[in-house]
Structure 1
Amino acid sequence: MASNPRAFPTATAVGAPAAAPASTSAALDELLAGNRRYATGRARRGRVPAQRPFAVVLDCVDSRVLPELVFDQDLGALLCIRTAGQVLDEAVLASIQYGVTELRVPLVVVLGHEGCGAVAATLGRLRTGAPVPGHLELLVEEIAPAARRTGALPGDWAAHTVRAHAVWVRDAIRADSAFAGAAVVAARLDPDSGLVTLLP
């Protein structure tokens, strides 16, 4: 997505991140501090008058995974892009680029989560060979490589797949020169505890 002031508001027009963290490491620290507040029942959230995101969060459409809650951030602090299983397509990549280049967001977080339905559908397809209906086939095709890479590992195949797929998506974004201005990390959410863990 080329920067075009006639097509999109610039970072100045939307509002520079006045109270946002000053660096990538500070942004990541703020997300994880907010997640600790969320996981321990001490969350605080409020409204903001303008869009001033300091992180892009690519997460799942699962209705339990809401980044503003998970990271205990005010509305307007995160630019959230949601697809089942964090599957990438051109619209998702363009949306991330909008955050990085137009809004000057310094951090992209790929957030996978345990109990992902898209991962479960993928594993079901690989186990049985049964067809997946309609557009869901796209999800299976995108997640299947991570599932195949982890199928021989001991333990929970679904959990291994969630981690491997989030890392693959992170690495695909990192490798794209369109996002050279941002740090990109992968993480997983445990919905039971509420805690987010960064992935190596």
Structure 2
Amino acid sequence: MPLRNVERTPAPVWNALVAGNERFINFDEDRPNQDAPRRRQLRDGQAPAAVVISCSDSRVPVEIIFDVGLGDLFVVRTAGEILDQAVFGSIEYAIESLGVPLVIVMGHESCGAVKATADALDGGDIPGGYQRVLIEKVAPSILEARAEGLSTITDFEKHHVVATVDQILSRSPEIHAKVETGEVGIVGVHYQLSDGRTVPVITRNVD
């Protein structure tokens, strides 16, 4: 079912996005909501179905991966999908002001921020300037993963997604409350560059 026709509750929205990802994987995309009438319609406002916190990596184009179009997703992108006050404000705006019922955190295979952090923790070079912030933000999740016995970059990438979801729920009382009542769902996924699939690593209220 097209995303625009689904009930605006967590599970139906997530299921529609999963279906869109399957179309993308199989080179059978619908490419919806990308025409002139859609552009004109959006002049009057927006009603996205989900907010996605994704890595800025050029290989992770969110709307293409889920086979959706203009106005369908509210996307916040930072290197390593790191969180800061602006990101939290953006997520809360999407939920409170736009009525978005689903939050997605998307990490990915071959994440440069995660690898750079792991290398730095192993005694490698730490970037200068503002790039250092990326290492500082990602490091806690890598250290936590290692404490749990995880050791591969893929493991670190997936754990970083889980840690990011946990941060969202623990640091935003507004989001946590809506997830607890079932009004909002949250999904953490690991995007596989090799085959285009978004693999869930943590879910709440989308079953």
TM-score normalised by L of structure 2: 0.83
Say if 2:136 is the partner of 1:134: no
Say if 2:190 is the partner of 1:194: no
Residue 17 (structure 2) aligned to one of 31, 54, 78: 31
Asked if the contact 1:114/1:159 (under 8 Å) is kept, the reply is yes
Please list the CA deviations of residues 115-162 of structure 1 after superposition, one character each: whole Å capped at 9, or x if unmatched: 11111111121112423211111111111122122336466x211111
Residue 178 of structure 1 is matched in structure 2 by 174
Partners in 2 of 1:130 and 1:190 — Cα distance? 27
1:197, distance to aligned residue in structure 2 (A): 0.8
Report the CA distance shift for 1:39/1:101 in structure 2 as closer, same or farther (over 3 A). Answer: same
1:23, distance to aligned residue in structure 2 (A): 1.6
1:22, distance to aligned residue in structure 2 (A): 2.9
User: Which amino acid in the other structure matches residue 34 of structure 1?
Assistant: G
Partners in 2 of 1:99 and 1:66 — Cα distance? 19
Partners in 2 of 1:35 and 1:63 — Cα distance? 17
**C-alpha RMSD of the superposition:** 1.7
Identity within the alignment, %: 34
Residue 50 (structure 2) aligned to one of 55, 76, 85: 55
Residue 80 (structure 2) aligned to one of 85, 88, 91: 85
Report the CA distance shift for 1:162/1:184 in structure 2 as closer, same or farther (over 3 A). Answer: same
Asked if the contact 1:34/1:71 (under 8 Å) is kept, the reply is yes
| 1:7-22 equivalent positions in 2, closer than 5 A | 19-22=5-8
TM-score normalised by L of structure 1: 0.85
More helix by share: 2
Say if 2:30 is the partner of 1:44: yes
